């Protein structure tokens, strides 16, 4: 089988492969790191003859880091990274369409955000409406999650619109998505499972497999596409 090398395909799927590797690393390493932290705490407590109160406080701090903050921040970073890949690579797809000698304008001529400009350009100049892709609604949810993380720190927010979006996502993706029981903003951050992050990564892969083929990239340059 002849393999075709396409820079757009290599960059797109290489980045997504890196995300999946990052998810796997986090999933496999976090339990071990937590175990080492607890063993180190035991060693210090025994060596310095801590009383039960000091040792209990130390275990609570480890619980907070490994049961609350680290899982959240790990997933948050993946969601933001995936959304960045969607925007960057969809814009690159629009630029590829703009290389057509018959193109009368370029994606940068369209006003608006990167994602919106790319979507409009692909539809108007490339006759590819990515909004009709089977994964588009999931990518919209990914975008909403990114906004909740980036703009509201992972919390429900104060406006009715933000709260409606937050609650809809919880209902749609439970139990892979959840909110802390505590009402305070400090402990009200959304929890996102690494499994859901991986699912979104697969959605993005499938989306770009179809989109790249739609703009003329050879199927032989796209991983996982049967020839």
Q: What is the 3-state secondary structure (H, E, C) of 95-157?
A: HHHHCCCCCCCCHHHCCCCHHHHHHHHHHHHHCCCHHHCCCHHHHHHHHHHHHHHHHHCCCCC
204-222 pLDDT per residue, tens: 999 999 999 999 999 998 8
Kindly state whether residue 195 falls inside one of the protein's structural domains: yes
Kindly state whether residue 140 falls inside one of the protein's structural domains: yes
pLDDT band at 225 (very low <50, low <70, confident <90, very high): low
Q: What are the residues facing 179 on neighbouring strands?
A: 190
Distances (CA, A) of 100 to 9, 91, 125: 18, 15, 10
Domain that holds residue 63: 7-221
Kindly state whether residue 91 falls inside one of the protein's structural domains: yes
pLDDT: is 181 or 22 the higher one?
Answer: 22
**Residue carrying structure tokens 């994606």:** 107
User: What is the tally of structural domains in the chain?
Assistant: 1
Kindly state whether residue 164 falls inside one of the protein's structural domains: yes
Kindly state whether residue 227 falls inside one of the protein's structural domains: no
Please tell me the distance from the alpha carbon of residue 58 to that of residue 64, in angstroms, as a whole number. Answer: 10
Per-residue pLDDT at 226 exceeds 50:
no
Cβ neighbours of residue 83 under 8 Å, at least 6 residues apart? 142, 143, 145, 146
User: CB count, 10 Å around CB of 205?
Assistant: 19
Judge whether 218 and 4 are in contact, CB under 8 Å. yes
Please tell me the distance from the alpha carbon of residue 180 to that of residue 155, in angstroms, as a whole number. Answer: 9
What's the whole-number mean pLDDT along residues 28-46?
95
- Burial (CB count within 10 angstroms: exposed 0-12, middle 13-18, buried 19+), residue 92: middle
Kindly state whether residue 29 falls inside one of the protein's structural domains: yes
Kindly state whether residue 40 falls inside one of the protein's structural domains: yes
> Which pTM was predicted?
0.91
Kindly state whether residue 226 falls inside one of the protein's structural domains: no
Tokens of 81: 């990274």
73-127 pLDDT per residue, tens: 999 999 999 999 999 999 999 999 999 888 888 998 888 899 999 999 999 998 9
């Amino acid at each position: 089988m002849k393999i075709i090398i396409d820079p757009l395909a290599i960059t797109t799927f290489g980045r997504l492969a890196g995300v999946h590797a990052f998810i796997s690393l986090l999933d496999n390493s976090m339990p071990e790191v937590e175990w080492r932290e607890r063993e180190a705490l035991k060693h210090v407590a025994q060596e310095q003859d801590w009383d039960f109160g000091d040792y209990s406080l130390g275990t609570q701090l480890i619980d907070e880091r490994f049961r609350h903050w680290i899982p959240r921040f790990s997933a948050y970073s993946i969601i933001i990274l995936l959304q960045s890949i969607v925007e960057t690579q969809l814009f690159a797809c629009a630029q590829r369409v703009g290389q057509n000698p018959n193109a009368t304008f370029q994606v940068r001529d369209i006003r608006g955000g990167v994602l919106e400009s790319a979507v409009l350009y692909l539809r108007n100049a490339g006759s590819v409406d990515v909004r009709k892709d089977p994964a588009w609604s999931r990518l919209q949810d990914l975008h909403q999650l990114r906004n909740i993380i980036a703009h509201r720190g992972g919390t429900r927010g104060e406006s009715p619109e933000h709260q409606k979006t937050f609650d809809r996502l919880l209902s749609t993706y439970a139990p892979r998505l959840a909110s802390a029981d505590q009402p305070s903003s400090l402990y009200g951050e959304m929890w996102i499972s690494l499994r859901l992050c991986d699912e979104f990564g697969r959605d993005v892969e499938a989306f770009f497999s179809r989109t790249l083929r739609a703009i003329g990239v050879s199927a032989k340059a796209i991983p996982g596409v049967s020839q």
